[in-house]
Amino acid sequence: MPFKYEELKSYPVPDAQMVLLPERVITYALGIGMGADPTDEKQLRYVYEDNLVIAPMMAVVVGYPGFWLKKEDTNVDWPKVLHGEQEIEIFEPFEVAGAYLGSTEVLEIYDKGPDKGAIVVSERVIKHRDTGKLTAICRQTNFCRGDGGCGGPGGSAPRPHELPDREPDSICDTPVLPQAALLYRLSGDFNPLHADPAVAKSAGFDQPILHGLCTLGHAGHALLKTVCDYDHTRFKSMKLRFTKPVYPGETLRTQMWIDGNVVSFRTIALERDVVVLGNGRLELN
């Protein structure tokens, strides 16, 4: 049986807080492939405690309440949940050693009908715990494949960003370490799908796959490097659609179309020539 629309729409997702200690900040940056060139001083700022700055993509793990759709009282068929889209909007740069509080709520649920699934859109507002200043907002779209017929309104989430119909203006390749999933999970996502070969095979994969948000981080790294010259303050917002899984050890190629302060992008797993992130849009300050 699917969950009930009214109950999930008003589900009390617990608040979560995080203190951005240097070790935590560096662990996240290493998990998304930063520090691959330890002689690059601009890149080193994200993985070395002297003059440390925080990658804006880290918003996806700050104040994260965990995989709350898995909780028994949500009645969600959680093994069939897919992470469809992700959006990040930055209002102020994160501070090293700053304490942040994330408050999550369900914005809307679109019922595709029995046997067709439901789309759950949630939003996490991240504020500085001590000052109360709004720092970032993360919006997430999940496709609950086993929960169609939940009683919500029909329709679907807004149309994704369309990429320009021309050759990319720039590309950036970022290697994914073979141990990348094992490293990224230290930032808070301990789903065994990304670590245990037996669990991965039971889910239909040849080996553990990379976290979708780790793939997002790699694309964000490519964008920071290519269009921001590693200046984190230029990063205003980012949104994308997850299209295919990534395997640790692959090379990710991010293609970019630059139109003023808007950069459209997509990311390809080079060895398999498949799009793993699509409909990407980065807005710059």
Helices 22-31 + 212-227 axis angle, to 10: 90
Contact 144, 119 (CB under 8 A): yes
From the list 158, 219, 210, 159, the residue with the least C-alpha distance to 180 is 210
Helix (H) or strand (E) holding 18: strand 16-19
Residues near 273 by beta carbon (within 8 Å), at least 6 away in sequence: none
Catalytic residue ranges? 189, 194, 209, 212
Helix (H) or strand (E) holding 23: helix 22-31
Say yes or no: 14 and 69 in one domain. Answer: yes
In a domain, 106, yes or no: yes
Q: What does the pLDDT look like over 186-195, one tens digit per residue?
A: 999 888 889 9
Say yes or no: 66 and 124 in one domain. Answer: yes
Q: How far is CA 7 from the centre of its chain?
A: 26
Say yes or no: 13 and 126 in one domain. Answer: yes
In a domain, 163, yes or no: no
Q: What does the pLDDT look like over 27-43, one tens digit per residue?
A: 999 999 999 998 999 99
Per the structure, the count of domains in the chain is 2
DSSP letter assigned to residue 55: -
Distance CA(155)–CA(30), nearest Å, equals 39
From the list 271, 220, 226, the residue with the least C-alpha distance to 246 is 271
Say yes or no: 276 and 185 in one domain. Answer: yes
- The CATH number covering residue 203 comes to 3.10.129.10
Residue 204, pLDDT score: 87
Sorting pLDDT into bands at 50, 70 and 90, what band is 144? Answer: very high
Residue 156, pLDDT score: 74
Phi/psi at 220 (nearest 5 deg)? -60, -40
Among residues 107, 128, 144, the one where a domain terminates is 144
Residue 100's SS3 state is strand
Say yes or no: 276 and 177 in one domain. Answer: yes
Contact 96, 54 (CB under 8 A): yes
Q: What does the pLDDT look like over 70-86, one tens digit per residue?
A: 999 999 998 889 999 99
In a domain, 207, yes or no: yes
Say yes or no: 130 and 196 in one domain. Answer: no
